[in-house]
Amino acid sequence: GKLPKKDRKQFRRAVSSHPSSVVPFKSVRAWFGRPPPQHSSLIADVCDEKDSLVQDCSLIVALHPDEATDVIVDICVARKIPFCIVPCCVFGRLFPNRKRPGSNSPVTTYQDLIEYLTAKHKSIQQTKLPFAGANIALWSIFPA
């Protein structure tokens, strides 16, 4: 899609006044791991940690990634790819093997999900975003 006209104008003005601050980037839509059963891989690329989409990236950002949440965090942790993710839905019935850290209890609430994902690596941080709802960003830059 396109930015609204007002935003395009503001973007052009910002770029023309600060051309050295523009950093090239690429945005890609892809299923992580595998597409859900009800979707076809023909709609978007499918990638895992061996895919060039992942190997060549310097950062992964995922906003409300639904079923891909675990896979994204797992790939980032395995490859030490900096990431920022804003998890949303828990999907407790789809992921019955998720267990709360230090417990055999299933992940059933949003807070359980945040704790579960944060426990995947010691460097994962939490930041509360200034809006209501699923507003916790989890992120890591995997410092040395």
Helix H, strand E, coil C: the string for the chain is CCCCHHHHHHHHHHHHHCHHHCCCCCCCCEEECCCCCCCCCCCCEEECCCCHHHHCCCCEEEECCHHHHHHHHHHHHHHCCCEEEECCCCCCCCCCCCECCCCCCECCCHHHHHHHHHCCCCCCEEEECCCCCCCEEEEECCCC
How high is the pLDDT of residue 43?
A: 61
Q: Are 76 and 53 in contact (CB under 8 A)?
A: no
pLDDT value of position 31: 74
Question: Tens-digit pLDDT profile for the chain (144 aa)?
Answer: 566 788 778 878 877 887 777 666 666 667 777 666 666 656 666 776 677 777 778 888 999 988 889 989 998 999 899 999 999 999 988 888 899 999 999 999 999 999 999 999 999 999 999 999 999 999 999 987
Neighbours of 27 (CB within 10 A): 5
